[in-house]
Amino acid sequence: MTTDKLYEVLCLMVRLDEELGLQRSLEHIRDSLANLTNQPATWQYQSDLASALSALSDGADQLRKRISLTEWGAIDELGGSEYFDPSITDKVRTFVGENAITLSVAHDFVQTLATKRGEFLQVLKTSLEGLRHLLAEEQSRKENPPAEAAFVIPKDLFGNRLGAFGTEINFINQLMEHLSEAVTGEARSAELQSLSSSGPTVVVLAGLGALHLLGDVINFFLDEWEKIRKMRNVRDQVKELGLSNAANEEITETILTTVDEVVEASTRRCLANYQLDFRLRNELEIALKADFRRLFGQIERGLTVEIHTREDAKVDEDTKQELRAIAEVAQKMHFPAADSKEPILLTDGEVLEGELLRTKVTTTIAASEKATSKADVGGGFFRVIVGR
Cα-Cα-Cα-Cα dihedral sign, residues 124, 127, 131, 132 = positive
**Please, where are the H alpha helices in the chain?**
3-20, 22-38, 43-66, 69-77, 88-98, 103-134, 137-142, 155-158, 162-184, 208-240, 245-270, 278-300, 317-331, 348-352
Query: Which CA distances in Å does 233 have to 169, 240, 257, 262?
Result: 33, 11, 17, 20
CA 182 to chain centre: 24
Q: How many CA atoms lie within 13 A of 113 on its CB side?
A: 25
DSSP 168-221: HHHHHHHHHHHHHHHHHSS-----EEEEETTTTEEEE---HHHHHHHHHHHHHH
Looking at residue 152, the DSSP 8-state letter turns out to be E
pLDDT in tens, the chain (388 residues): 667 778 888 888 999 999 999 999 999 988 988 888 888 777 888 888 889 899 999 999 998 888 887 788 888 888 888 999 898 988 888 887 776 667 788 888 899 999 999 999 999 988 888 887 776 554 544 557 889 998 988 888 887 788 888 888 889 999 999 999 998 887 665 588 878 776 688 888 888 999 999 999 999 999 998 888 888 788 778 777 776 677 778 888 888 888 899 999 999 999 988 887 888 889 999 999 999 999 998 998 889 999 988 877 778 888 889 999 999 999 888 888 776 567 777 766 566 555 444 344 444 333 333 333 333 433 333 333 333 2
